[in-house]
Amino acid sequence: MISAVASSSSSSSMLSPKKYDVFLSFRGEDTRRNFTSHLYEALKQKKVETYIDEHLEKGDEISPGLIKAIEDSHVSIVVFSKNYASSKWCLVELIKILDCKKDRGQIVIPVFYEIDPSDVRKQTGSYEQAFAKHEGEPSCNKWKTALTEAANLAGWDSRTYRTDPELLKDIVADVLQKLPPRYQNQRKGLVGIEEHCEHIESLLKIGPTEVRTLGIWGMGGIGKTALATTLYDKLSHEFEGSSFLSNVNEKSDKLENHCFGNSDMSTLRGKKALIVLDDVATSEHLEKLKVDYDFLEPGSRVIVTTRNREILGPNDEIYQVKELSSHHSVQLFCLTVFGEKQPKEGYEDLSERVLSYCKGIPLALKVMGASLRRKSKEAWESELRKLQKISSMEIHTVLKLSYDGLDHSQKDMFLDIACFFKGRERDWVTRVLDAFDFFAASGIEVLLDKALITISEGNHIEMHDLIQEMGWEIVRQECIKDPGRRSRLWRQEEVQNVLKYNRGTDVVEGIILSLRKLTEALRLSFDFLAKMTNLRFLQFYDGWDDYGSKVPVPTGFESLSDKLRYLHWEGFCLESLPLNFCAEQLVELYMPFSKLKKLWDGVQNLVNLKIIGLQGSKDLIEVPDLSKAEKLEIVNLSFCVSLLQLHVYSKSLQGLNAKNCSSLKEFSVTSEEITELNLADTAICELPPSIWQKKKLAFLVLNGCKNLKFVGNEIVHLLSSKRLDLSQTNIERLPALPPSLKYLMAEGCTSLETNFTQHLVLHHMIQSRIPYLHKHPSNPGYYNNHECFFFPGDRITKACGFCTGDSSITIPYLPKSDLHGFIYCIIFSEGIYGKRSSVLSCSINQDGIQVGQDQKTIYIPDLFLDHVLFWYHDIRQFDRIREVCDHFSDLTISFEHKHLFRGVKITWGIKECGVFPVYARASGFKVVGSNSKETFECESITQISNNESQPRPRAIRVEAGVRGSNNENEEDRNNFLQQKRMRTSP
């Protein structure tokens, strides 16, 4: 974010680098042992580089060294004391100081110590006496003119102060303001500093409050120390005392229990102080340094720079220093290498490549800039090619400090992420690292605290490229010449070389290889993995079924490590795994698109196995005995088209995917923990009765099971089921639905009795609201955002209170009291819908003013007959519901189904729509009819189905939806209609 660079040349001498901040001019015999020495110490405490002549004045001429010191100072402080003018040395010194003011822009600050400024200006009093002795000197008039000029400058009069410390405090503050302070000098060498200083100052909230600690946190080389130094130089004058303790980590062995006792911080006791603790690595170090905080005055501030966020307390403010923007990166690099803010002509592309490598890290930009300064284009090219294989050791050394502070398992996790898992989803990485017994959850938090990794918005683990390269370099250093003797292999060409020539050793723990990047098949020996006896991670990926031949394992292959925890081998070309392979350590087995017919013979002790993925293995005919897989959670066998039967005996299984196992006829699963079951497009004729006893089964997918004609009444026992997909089956009738069901997809079920199903769904939606009304009153969108029921149907049930053969419907009058929401019923006409996601939106308007709206994303496949969709909308989601009084009038509800195709909005598909207003009462819910006076309860499904061919249900006595007696309700409605006629009559 920030970084220092050498200042560019300037024609202004005032901006040129100076050796000293302040030059002190004084009469030694008058003030050396008191006021001037105290002034020197006060300036030194504020880190103001001050020159003081330690020698007694001798002769009339000052030395060349003294002249150089005056010229090399930003500010001269002239202490005019009683006998100052008696020293020719002092007067010559004053002439030189005023020359530097005129020629070099030097700032001159006069201090009148126990003398009247008019005596200096007019040479009266002791100054008149001094010049009586100088009578006849050639420079006498110059000295008088100089004294007059200096005394006319704004300065400090000690006679106006009660004590010297008060005077010293104001002089030092004045110097810090008038200096081109080191803060300003350093700021000119920084890029992107001001906005960050302002932010941190707001976090510090400087004022008379408690002692506050602020952590400046970030990865190595990001600019933490530069930022802390800048803040120290800028703010230290606002405090009574200050101290900057640098490189705490390097000095940690020398730290005593009381840090204030072994440095100049002992002078800060009882003061409002600013303390900077730079590069603190551990909480132990920080605790040692913070022991004496209680002795600091309120308003003191402590700034800690660290790579480890974990050391900071819960009440400490934290400022994270991030990478430079591209704009500031260009500036910093170009200032370093070219001395200007833009690339030199002809070096634009080369500079861009360096910037791409450095990725906004100030340290890297400076190191690269310094190494390429005054180099030819050919040298730049050579250096960039070198960096592709070997990282800069100067950058590597700084970044590695954070890695060195990790414990053994954390280091392993970091290297695994750097070599294998960067960019992968956090939960997946955590699961895999846990398979290696690395305590991943806590370890990842440590890596985050040390700024070695970050988490993206999509919950993926990310790592700065330079930190990743640092990890790569650590592994490369394990054996520079022989990759086969390194713990991890990830570079494509090195992996190919080690496998092809059988150069692996027992040092190798992990291998990753993209099969898609192979230009030709690898020629391997049958024992090409035999020497890698400690291999725990193997991933041959990006290899769909047509890439399997690129790793043609020869017959006799019996060399798979028994220490494998994670095995991912796409397109495995043998019919089974090696006979002598022991899978006891295996946690995840992922071998999609393989030629496997079976995994192994017999029963393996799969005590650690959690996941099996064999999808797309078209030759698979047998699944092994999984009865000893006590931790098994997921099995994916989708598109295993040769599989005839599947019986999974596992007590822990949570998810089973057998989608498109088109030959599968027999199926069973014993686990009571199963939550997801996908049997889509299988040949099963019926489901085993035990399925309906799986109380945790939440998602059941049966679409495309064309041999399945009946789902038993036992389906209601699926107490946890939230999703049921029966699309493209031949089911004729559904029994009662599971109480928790929120999603029913029965697209293409041509045999399904649509009228009965509509009443079934309507009854289900009303009944499912009863517990919701009591348990989730504060979350009206919970059901609405997830609930959807879709199945064949070409007309809306006659039980619908309001319906129309259009995409919009108007309800003239509807009581608001006790109205809970609406059930929408929409008929989609048959047609080509493009098999894509689209948006179904609803707009509710009263008298032309929108009072509510809602929308849901839906997926509608191509339809070969009309379909109906049910959807619930809670009235509490209406934006302007409070503007509606006691009833709705001329309530228009409009629906629109649309999607974007090549930037064009396409609207289509709605053939008919209906609305069921739903009213709530203590005993349950009611649905209102088209006559506002009439409501009816949702009767049993059998009764409604039998009455479907009869006129609409007879009205039940009004008990919900409209308060008061029938006569009162009728009177209210008549009054409303009469007023409406009067408003609209000519």
Residues belonging to the active site: 93
- Which among 261, 317, 321 is positioned nearest to 291, based on CA atoms? 261
Q: Which helix (H) or strand (E) holds 241?
A: strand 241-245
Question: Rounded CA gap, 593 and 615, in Å?
Answer: 6
Torsion angles phi and psi, residue 338, rounded to 5: -115, -15
Q: Please state at what angle helix 194-204 crosses helix 224-235, rounded to 10 degrees.
A: 70
Question: Rounded CA gap, 583 and 600, in Å?
Answer: 10
Question: Rounded CA gap, 528 and 553, in Å?
Answer: 9
Question: Rounded CA gap, 376 and 388, in Å?
Answer: 19
**Integer Rg of the chain from CA:** 41
Question: Rounded CA gap, 955 and 932, in Å?
Answer: 11
Question: How many beta carbons lie within 10 A of that of residue 580, not counting itself?
Answer: 10
Asked if 789 and 827 count as a contact pair (C-beta separation under 8 A), the reply is no
CA 658 to chain centre: 35
Work out whether strand 20-25 and strand 50-51 pair parallel, antiparallel, or are unpaired.
parallel
The secondary structure of residue 598, as a DSSP letter, is -
Q: Which helix (H) or strand (E) holds 590?
A: strand 588-590
What's the per-residue H, E or C state across 82-122? CCHHHCHHHHHHHHHHHHHHHHHCCEEEEEECCCCHHHHHH
Asked if 78 and 55 count as a contact pair (C-beta separation under 8 A), the reply is no
SS3 category, 209 = coil
Residue with tokens 């070096």: 347
Asked if 27 and 79 count as a contact pair (C-beta separation under 8 A), the reply is yes
Question: Rounded CA gap, 685 and 659, in Å?
Answer: 15
Residue with tokens 């050919």: 378
Q: Measure Cα distances from 712 to 459, 708, 734, 789 in Å.
A: 41, 11, 8, 19
Residue 64 corresponds to which amino acid?
A: P
CB contact set of 314 (below 8 Å; sequence gap of 6+):
none
- Which among 837, 958, 953 is positioned nearest to 901, based on CA atoms? 837
Q: Measure Cα distances from 144 to 95, 493, 614, 627 in Å.
A: 10, 83, 100, 107
Asked if 266 and 293 count as a contact pair (C-beta separation under 8 A), the reply is no
DSSP secondary structure, 868-903, as one string: EEEEEEEGGG-TTGGG--SEEEEEEEEEEEEEEETT
Q: Which helix (H) or strand (E) holds 946?
A: helix 941-947
Question: Rounded CA gap, 713 and 698, in Å?
Answer: 17
Question: Rounded CA gap, 802 and 913, in Å?
Answer: 9
The secondary structure of residue 215, as a DSSP letter, is E
Instruction: Report the largest interatomic distance among the alpha carbons of the chain, rounded to a whole angstrom.
Output: 135
Torsion of CA 968, 969, 973, 974, to 10 degrees: -40
Asked if 387 and 472 count as a contact pair (C-beta separation under 8 A), the reply is no
The secondary structure of residue 176, as a DSSP letter, is H
- Which among 672, 671, 668, 670 is positioned nearest to 658, based on CA atoms? 668
| Bridge partner list, 901 | 904
